[in-house]
Amino acid sequence: MSADPFSNRKPETGAFFQRDRLWHPPAFTPDYKTSVLRSPQKALLSLDNTLSEITGPVFGHNMLGELDNDLIHNFAKPGESAIGPRIIVYGRVLDERGKGVPGALLEFWQANAGGRYRHKKEGYLAALDPNFGGCGRTITNEEGNYAFRTIQPGPYPWPNGVNDWRPAHIHFSVFGHGFAQRLITQMYFEGDPMIWQCPIVKTIPDRAAVESLIAALDREATIPMDARAYKFDIVLRGRRSSLFENRLEGN
């Protein structure tokens, strides 16, 4: 067994719950035009997890730099900071059983306050912020909690329809404990009317599934005279208990 970064927690070896493909966006969503030529058309091959999916890479807290969870400062010149509404994003990574997921690597990226990404393929005329790079990362603690500082990103136009705009959002990449839990999603902001006009949001068929991607403004977690706070919990696939199953290693 590999070194366990999760203290005295016993590693789990059960297969992950079947993914609810009706809850996630389907591959083919013609109103999001790029999906048309990039969506598999044949049926997926459904298989119970093998060891190759039950296992997954581990990332230790020692890989993190001091400013990795502070997008206001991690690209800024010394003594300067990114421009925009200062916010804290915090929450918990859980699995479908409601258990906290410790040691989960979260990576996030976003546009600046004007809605501009720092990327050579980005053509929006909004200005770059010389003090904002747009990436950050953190690892959940023993209870599955995480937090980071950033600025609230702006909405931006994108070439899909003639006049399509993305609502303000932060991209999240999430690792759980098994490669089968790998997930990328996006966080939206409570009260933004543009969420419900977005072709990418609308790839998700279920309104409740969209609502679970909208972070709540949390006045109680706000730091007075510093930053507002948004709460964003993330749920990864749960896994079966292996109590009554033949142990993969035994047989």
Of 169, 177, 237, 239, which residue is the catalytic one? Answer: 169
- Whole-angstrom CA distances from 111 to 55, 91, 164, 179, 189 are 33, 21, 16, 28, 14
Question: Which of 125, 184 has the CB closer to another protein?
Answer: 184
Question: Which of 10, 219 has the CB closer to another protein?
Answer: 10
CB of 110 closer than 8 Å to CB of 89? no
Of 92, 116, 137, 166, which residue is the catalytic one? Answer: 166
Q: Which two tokens stand for residue 105?
A: 């690597």
In this structure, the strands spanning 183-189 and 214-217 are: parallel
Rounded to a whole number of angstroms, the minimum distance from the CB of residue 193 to another protein is 19
Question: Which of 224, 249 has the CB closer to another protein?
Answer: 249
Contacts of 211 (CB under 8 A, 6+ apart): none
Q: Which residues pair with 89 in a beta bridge?
A: 148, 230
- Whole-angstrom CA distances from 184 to 57, 106, 173, 249 are 16, 10, 4, 31
Question: Which of 50, 197 has the CB closer to another protein?
Answer: 50
Catalytic, 90? Answer: no
Question: Which of 87, 153 has the CB closer to another protein?
Answer: 153
Catalytic, 171? Answer: yes
Q: 3-class SS at 205?
A: coil
Report DSSP letters for 216-249, one per residue: EE-TTT-BTTTBEEEE--EEEPPB---TTS--TT
Of 32, 156, 188, 230, which residue is the catalytic one? Answer: 156
Catalytic, 166? Answer: yes
Catalytic, 230? Answer: no
Catalytic, 188? Answer: no
Q: How far apart are CA 61 and CA 82, in angstroms?
A: 25
Rounded to a whole number of angstroms, the minimum distance from the CB of residue 216 to another protein is 14
Rounded to a whole number of angstroms, the minimum distance from the CB of residue 221 to another protein is 20
Rounded to a whole number of angstroms, the minimum distance from the CB of residue 225 to another protein is 27
Output phi, psi for 16, to 5 deg: -80, 150
User: Where in the sequence numbering do the catalytic residues fall?
Assistant: 117, 156, 166, 169, 171
